[in-house]
Amino acid sequence: MRGRASGLVAAGAILLLMAGCAADKAPPAPLLPVTPTIAGKQVWQQRLDTRVGFPLAVVVRQGQVIAASDQGVVQGLDLATGKEVWRANVKSGLSAGVGSDGRFSAVVTRDNELVTIEAGAERWRKSLDARVVTAPLVAGERVFVVGVDRAVHAYDALDGRKLWTLRRAGDPLTLAQASVLTAYKDTLIVGQGPRLLGVDSLRGTVRWEAVVATPRGTNEVERLADLIGPAARVGSSFCVRAFQSSIGCVDAERGALQWSINGGGTQPVAADADHVFSADAVDRVSARRRSDGVLLWSNERFLNRELSGPVSVGKTVVFGDFEGQVHFLSRETGLTLLRLPTDGSAVVGAPIVADTTLLVVTRNGGLFAFRPE
């Protein structure tokens, strides 16, 4: 218990340290006028019940957008129109959420309870023994959860029965920020500190391990290099950022590191067939060649604008900023092609793309659907 408590306190200290650093940042770069060279428009807008205090995952499954506010309201919305299809209230604030396979949706409360919902009704809830900040993964009629103690748990989605737990020794200090939790075929892909693990989803045993970052520094804070989710997937390649340390890509078919490049930053990356996109600690935007990590271009026009994680959409890469502006950059040159507003509050989490729709969540609880053309 003492080791776990020390780890959680330390993780909280990291967040305070980050907040202090943010207070000392240089002023944000002013936005230059943009003459749109591509078309795009807002197609619908919804309001989540409360402010979104930190990034909560939005999931698109079977034509529905599943979203949650940090006060515990979970909604299923029609992707085409934004109209509400179902709603559930877990009656507790959330620390992580939401994961969904289209039938079952799962969130984790601040009271460390895993709650699973089906068709707007609570199906079951289970107590967890550690805080969770990473959205659950729902796949194959299982619900997977990873805690800030880096333990991974699997539950039966039908009745909440625990199927297995994977615990591994690690550093006592962990990052209280969403990690990597996704799947490739029947392999669970999990971030464990600076390592990406491939885990047998049926048995909970480790199939392979790839080290993305080599922690450096004179103390535990400086050596903190946890992987930040979500990972950017292109085929069998998963590209990730290690907190303030590096960016790298791992081949999940072979369980092997493809490349890793030193570089600071606290937000996840995006990728397409040719590029890996990221913003560093001062919001310098870069594109690297996905095959080997070679730098292709960088853009310093958004310095200190508190950029969100990016997403690759067609011929563009998209970032949100602290004023709710959504920036569409050319993936080939980094030049701004289009800028669209939201509600004036910060974009939280990386935008996501589903079919031809781009979804953006803001701090004030706005959920915006855009359609670039």
Report how far residue 162's alpha carbon sits from residue 177's, in angstroms, rounded to the nearest whole number: 24
Per-residue pLDDT reduced to its tens digit, 350-365: 999 998 899 999 999 9
If pLDDT is split at 50, 70 and 90, which confidence band does 330 have? very high
Burial of 240 (0-12, 13-18, 19+ CB in 10 A): buried
Count of CB atoms situated within 10 Å of the CB of 15? 13
Percent of the chain surpassing pLDDT 90: 78
How far from 368 is each of 131, 192, 302, CA to CA, in Å?
Answer: 29, 33, 22
Place of tokens 């805080």: 131
Greater confidence, 220 or 87? 87
| Helices H / strands E in the chain, number of each | 2, 32
Report how far residue 253's alpha carbon sits from residue 243's, in angstroms, rounded to the nearest whole number: 24
The model carries a pTM of 0.90
- pLDDT (average), residues 321-338: 97
Single-letter residue type at 337 = L
Is pLDDT of 39 > 80?
A: yes
Measured in degrees and rounded to the nearest 5, phi and psi for residue 263 equal 170, 130
Single-letter residue type at 225 = A
Sign, CA dihedral 13-15-18-19, equals negative
Per-residue pLDDT reduced to its tens digit, 269-313: 999 999 999 999 999 999 999 999 999 999 999 999 999 999 999
The CATH number given to 2-372 is 2.130.10.10
Of 36-40, 173-177, 322-326, give the lowest mean pLDDT range. 173-177
Q: Which of 223, 298, 300, 238 is nearest to 269 (CA)?
A: 238
Is pLDDT of 17 > 50?
A: no
Single-letter residue type at 84 = E
Per-residue pLDDT reduced to its tens digit, 143-153: 999 999 899 99
Per-residue pLDDT reduced to its tens digit, 41-72: 999 999 987 777 767 778 999 999 999 988 99
148: helix, strand or coil: coil
Is pLDDT of 159 > 60?
A: yes
